[in-house]
Amino acid sequence: MSYSNGTTKSRGSFIVLVFLSALWLLPTVGLFITSLRAKGEAQTSGWWDVLLNPFSQDWDLSSYTTVLTENKLATSFISSLAVTIPATILPLLFAAYAAFGFTFLTFRGREFFFSVIIGLLVVPLQGALVPVLKMFISFTDKTGIEISGQYAAAWFVHSAFAMPLAIYILRNYMMTIPNTLIEAARMDGASNFTIFWRLVLPISVPALASFAIFQFLWVWNDYLIAFVFVGNERPVLTYTLLAMLGQYGEGWQAVAAGSFISLSVPLLVFFTLQRYFIRGLTAGAVK
């Protein structure tokens, strides 16, 4: 009897999960279908009509050709990669160093400084835009080195605001590593640098991958930071998609094709690293 109840609950959970997944994927499916339809048909009928009679539709790939050639989406694609990849790697690198120190090194004020870093999670990114921009301008006036308007400006801003969460996630994961393992490495003569690179970092790959997914998605889909600190001379995908829409929304079908191209990269990153995702997030949650 208990086995039957367990099977029924499992089947019910599976049905609910399938329903929620289908509901979540519905906008993406609609976006993809719209991007492949001829403009005339897309303007006169809903995308769901395709599901009823898919072979009667006039499929058209011209939207993809247009956005990749006429709208310079390919150039914006490269700009987004130039912003996103360094802005994902830099906070991971520095946060891993900091998390290692907060976990395995003993120094005065360790818990206080960690609390301060965690407190920075509540600082809104939008509230710091003007002070950071003024800081960049002041730095340029004093040194002559231009930061604002360059990719580096977005790297600094994204990395700085990602650090508190990255340190928190990585420290929680590193706390699950047995101290006996670290002490054994020290007894064998390994330095902290060696322990970090050859022992702790390889073990922490799940946590690194889980945060990399979050950070990549946040930076890739960002519009505000790229617009304020990089500008329209090096437009990222989000800026180009908005420009493609037009003043009166007449370019919505081109935006559908461009949005699906933009969506493909985060999907690729997630499916590549998904096996680490849950392991990295749940590590340290239960002792």
pTM, two decimal places = 0.80
**Other CB atoms within 10 Å distance of the CB of residue 47:** 19
Q: Which fold is adopted by the domain 62-282?
A: MetI-like fold (1.10.3720)
Beta carbons within 8 Å of 207's beta carbon, 6+ residues apart: 169, 170, 172, 173, 174, 276, 279, 280, 283
What is the chain's mean pLDDT, rounded? Answer: 82
| 164-198 pLDDT tens trace | 999 998 998 898 888 888 888 888 888 888 999 98
Domain range summary for the chain, segments of one domain joined by +: 1-60, 62-282
Query: Could you report the per-residue pLDDT of 246-287, keeping only the tens digit for each?
Result: 665 666 777 788 888 888 888 888 787 777 666 655 554 444
Note the pLDDT tens digit of each residue in 20-75: 888 888 888 887 887 777 776 766 667 777 777 766 667 777 777 777 776 678 88
CB 236 within 8 A of CB 80: yes
Q: Where are the alpha helices (DSSP H) in the chain?
A: 2-36, 39-44, 49-52, 62-69, 73-104, 110-119, 129-143, 151-174, 179-187, 192-195, 201-203, 205-220, 224-225, 237-245, 252-282
